[in-house]
Every structure is written in structure tokens, then in C-alpha cells.
């Protein structure tokens, strides 16, 4: 097992899914703040909106990183077993 396969496994199988899950949980937390707690407090409503926006930006950026790194990894032969897609 080479170092590139270990790094690509850690990146594609551990790090990226963890960031996606954290982004999704953050989005849900922001939605809860916006809908439930924000109905009574304007400050919590704006905090919920900003959390949802930041989580969506992180989610989209990670999708782009996953796609671009997968494209480069496949073209350079670094990924084993087609970890992307």
C-alpha cells in the first residue's frame, strides 16, 4: 500500500464525508434556529439564516473540491477503485 493510496483513502473515505455531515448538521441547526427560535427573536432568526448560508457555501465548496480532486486523481492515476462517484 503506497502513501498516495493511504492519503486518498483518508481524504475520500473519511475527511470529505465528515465535512459533508458537519455541513448538513449545521444547516439543520440554522434552519431550526430560523424557524423555531427565530419566530420570537429577530437576532436568532438572523443567526439561523447566516448559519444556513455558511453551511450551504461549505457544502457547495466541498462538492467542487471532491469533483476537481477526483478529476485530477483519475487523470493522474492516483485514485484506486474510483473513489469519486
pLDDT in tens, 3-21: 766 666 677 778 888 888 9
Domain residues for the domain of 49 are: 15-73
Inside any domain, residue 85: no
Structural domain contains residue 49: yes
Task: Examine residue 81 and state whether it is found in any structural domain, yes or no.
Answer: no
pTM: predicted TM-score of the whole model, two decimal places: 0.70
Least confident range from 9-13, 24-28, 69-73: namely 9-13
Q: Is 37 within the bounds of a domain?
A: yes
- Rounded to whole angstroms, the Cα distance separating 8 from 16 reads 11
CB count in 10 Å sphere of residue 24: 13
Q: Give the total number of structural domains in the chain.
A: 1
In a domain, 79, yes or no: no
Amino acid at each position: 500500500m503506497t502513501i498516495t493510496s493511504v492519503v486518498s483513502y483518508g481524504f475520500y473515505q473519511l475527511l470529505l464525508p465528515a465535512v459533508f455531515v458537519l455541513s448538513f448538521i449545521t444547516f439543520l441547526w440554522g434552519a431550526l434556529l430560523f424557524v423555531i427560535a427565530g419566530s420570537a427573536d429577530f437576532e436568532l432568526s438572523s443567526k439561523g439564516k447566516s448559519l444556513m448560508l455558511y453551511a450551504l457555501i461549505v457544502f457547495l465548496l466541498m462538492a467542487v473540491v471532491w469533483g476537481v480532486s477526483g478529476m485530477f486523481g483519475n487523470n493522474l492515476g492516483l485514485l484506486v477503485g474510483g473513489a469519486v462517484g
